[in-house]
Structure 1
Amino acid sequence: MKRNKISRSGVFAATFLLALVIGSGAQGADKRQPPPPPKVLSDLLACRQIADPAARLACFDAQTAALASAAERSDILVADRQQVEEARRGVFGYAVGISPLLDAAGGGAEAKRLDTTVTAARRSRGDGWIIAMAEGGTWEQIDSKPLALSPKPGQKVAITKGSLGSYFVSVDGQAAIKMRRIQ
C-alpha cells in the first residue's frame, strides 16, 4: 500500500514546530518540568517586574509588538489545552514519540487509548481492513483475525496501545484486531 507522506510529514512538522503557551493553572501529577517558554513570551512577562509605570508600559508595548510579530511569522503558536488535546489525538498511533511540548501540555502522560468513530472502511488486499477514523488517521489491519460485523461509518471505535508499538482496535464492541496507523 502506498503511504501518504505529505500528510504525515505535515502533521509531524506542525507537532514539532509547535510552541505552546499554557495557562498558569495547569498542573500535572508528573514531576517533569515543562519546556521553558519561548523567549518572546518570557521577555513580555519580565515587563511585570518594572516598578516605574511609564517604563513598564513602554516595555509591554514593545514586547507585545514583538509577540504579535512572532505570531504573524508563525515563529510562535499559541494553543489552549483543548487544542493541544486535539493535536495529541491527531498523532495517536504514529510510531514516533510525542513532542516534548505536547507531552508537557498534556500533563506528561502518554495517551494509551483513543475513543473515536469510523468515517470509512474497506477491505485491504490481504482480506483485512483499512479503517479511516474521525481524527483523520487511517489504520490497517496487521493480523488475520476476522471481524464478525463489517465496520461502518459512525460506529464507535476504541484504539488501545499494546506493547512494543502495537495497537488493538475494537469496532462497535467487537473483539479487538491488531492494526497499525498508516496515515
Structure 2
Amino acid sequence: MIGAAVLLALPGGAAAQKLDSRLAAVLDCPRITDPAQRLACFDAAVTPLRQAASSGSLEARSLGPKALDGKIRATRGQGYDQMLIQLENGDRWLLKIEGNERLPKAGAAVTIKRGALGNWWVKVAGVQTFQSRFLGQPD
C-alpha cells in the first residue's frame, strides 16, 4: 500500500534518479514484459521497501509545503502574468498575477490556504491574495 501511494505521487524523469534505491527497484519492474517475471520483480523489490517503511528507515519525501505561513526570501518574475516566490523555509510558489496587484516583495509575510477545489491561495502581507501552485523545494 505504501509503495503504491509513493509510486503514484512521484514525478518521472530526472527526479527518479535521486530516489532511494529500494524505491527505484520497484519503479524498474513495469518495464518487464513477461507477466510472471514482472510479478517476481515486484515481489522481490517490495519486500525491502516494506521493511524499510515499517522500521522507519525509509525517509519520506515531502510532497507538499513545509509550512502554511512564513516570509518571502526571494521573488522573480515569470513572464507577464506569473511570479515565482521562495519562502525562508525553501518552499517555492508560482503566483498568478491577474491585474494591477502590488507585486510581493522579499520580507513580506505570507499565509497559504488550500482552496475548495484543491488549488492554493497565497495571501501576501495580509492584504492581497494570489492563486498559486506549489513548486516544491529547490534541488
- TM-score in terms of structure 1 length: 0.40
Choose the corresponding residue for 2:64, options 87, 91, 94: 91
Distance 1:119 1:8, change over 3 A: farther
Alpha carbons of structure 1 residues 132 and 8: separation in structure 2 relative to 1, 3 Å: farther
Confirm or deny: 8 A CA contact 1:118 1:131 kept in the other structure.
yes
Residue 137 of structure 2 corresponds to residue 164 of structure 1: no
Counterparts of 1:155 and 1:138 in 2: how far apart (Å)? 14
| Aligned counterpart in structure 1 of residue 80 of structure 2, from 126, 132, 156 | 126
**Percent identity over the alignment?**
23
Bigger share in strand = 2
The answer to whether the Cα contact below 8 Å between 1:142 and 1:178 also exists between their aligned partners in 2 is yes
CA distance in structure 2 between the aligned counterparts of 1:153 and 1:77, rounded to whole angstroms: 35
Query: 1:155 Cα shift?
Result: 1.5
Residue identity in the other structure for 1:131: I
Q: Is the 8 A contact 1:128 1:146 kept in 2?
A: no
Aligned to 1:137: 91
Runs of 4+ in 1 over 4 A off after TM superposition: 5-10, 37-40
Q: Which has the larger radius of gyration?
A: 1
Structure 1 residue 9 displacement after superposition: 8.2
- Tell me how far apart the structure 2 counterparts of residues 127 and 176 of structure 1 sit (CA, whole Å): 14
Gaps of 5+ in 1: 18-36, 41-74, 79-83, 94-112
**Contact 1:147–1:174 (CA<8 Å) still a contact in 2?**
no
SS of residue paired to 1:179: strand
Give 1:135 deviation, angstroms: 2.2
- 1:136 is displaced (CA, Å) by 1.4
Letter of the 1:118 partner, please give it.
Answer: I
Q: Which has the higher contact order (CA 8 A, sep 6+)?
A: 1
After TM superposition, the score normalised by the length of structure 2 is 0.50
Cα distance between partner residues in 2 of 1:8 and 1:181: 19
Residues 123 and 9 of structure 1, relative CA distance in 2, 3 Å threshold: farther
Q: CA RMSD in A?
A: 3.7
> Residue 128 of structure 1: CA displacement?
2.6
Which residues of structure 2 form unaligned runs of 5+? 1-12, 24-51
For residue 151 of structure 1, report the CA deviation from its aligned partner.
1.7
